[in-house]
């Protein structure tokens, strides 16, 4: 892994590499895991495009990676986690601004943008779910 990290440091690190590094981290011996995690975090801190994602990736490593038994499932689990985080961020923006998000912002959370015919219905369903989430978990709660 060290060699591969060094090799990638010479090139631009792509977000797609992250699940591969997470799988290697999961397979590592306990004594090497801390060193490998530090290498991943340092790599993320060194890349301008990835710095903003560092906290979420670290949260995935701490909270989700230990629960995954099959390393082949890591890319799918990471993608699922990332999509959930997008929706939570959009919900947080909605809560903060108290304005409904634009449909284009909602569609950015999806893997594939829906067709023009489907866009309105899908956008309305997602927005309704967000409003329901805010109503249940946020409104009326005392900080």
Q: Based on the structure, what is the number of domains in the chain?
A: 1
pLDDT above 80 for 40: yes
Q: Stretch 21-49: mean pLDDT, rounded?
A: 84
**Do the domain assignments include residue 54?**
yes
**96 within a domain of the structure (yes/no):** no
Confirm whether 116 is domain-assigned.
no
Say if 44 falls within a structural domain: yes
Higher pLDDT, residue 125 or 138: 125
- Domain assignment of residue 93, yes or no: no
**pLDDT for the residue numbered 94:** 74
- Determine, yes or no, domain membership for 136: no
Closest to 19 measured CA to CA, from 67, 70, 57, 69 = 57
Q: Which residues of 65-86 are buried (b: 16+ CB within 10 A; e: fewer)?
A: beebeeeeebeebbeebbeebb
Does residue 18 fall inside a structural domain? Answer: yes
Q: Which residue has the tokens 């947080």?
A: 92
Say whether pLDDT at 114 is over 60: yes
d(CA 116, CA 125): 15
Cα distances (angstroms) measured from residue 42 to each of 46, 58, 120: 6, 11, 42
Q: What is the pLDDT of residue 140?
A: 59
**Angle ∠(109,115,119) on CA atoms, nearest 5:** 60
Q: What is the pLDDT of residue 44?
A: 81
Tell me: the pLDDT tens digits for 56-109? 999 999 999 999 999 999 999 998 898 888 877 877 777 777 777 777 877 777
For residue 59, the number of C-alpha atoms closer than 13 Å in the C-beta half-sphere is 9
Domain of residue 21 covers 2-70
State the pTM of this model.
0.67
Rounded to an integer, the average pLDDT of 39-43 is 85
124 located within any domain: no
pLDDT score of 11: 46
pLDDT for position 54: 86
- Rounded CA gap, 32 and 52, in Å? 26
As a residue count, the chain comes to 143
Q: Residue 114 gets which letter from DSSP?
A: P
């Amino acid at each position: 892994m060290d060699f591969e990290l060094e090799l990638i440091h010479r090139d631009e690190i792509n977000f797609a590499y992250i699940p591969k590094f997470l799988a290697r981290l999961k397979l590592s011996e306990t004594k090497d895991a801390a060193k490998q995690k530090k290498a991943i975090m340092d790599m993320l801190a060194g890349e301008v495009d990835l710095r903003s994602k560092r906290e979420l990736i670290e949260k995935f490593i701490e909270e989700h990676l230990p629960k995954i038994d099959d390393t082949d499932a890591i890319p799918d689990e990471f993608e699922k986690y990332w999509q959930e985080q997008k929706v939570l961020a959009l919900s947080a923006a909605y809560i903060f601004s108290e304005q409904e998000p634009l449909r284009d912002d909602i569609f950015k959370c999806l893997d594939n943008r829906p067709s023009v015919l489907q866009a309105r219905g899908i956008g309305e369903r997602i927005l309704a779910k967000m409003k329901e989430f805010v109503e249940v978990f946020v409104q009326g709660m005392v900080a």
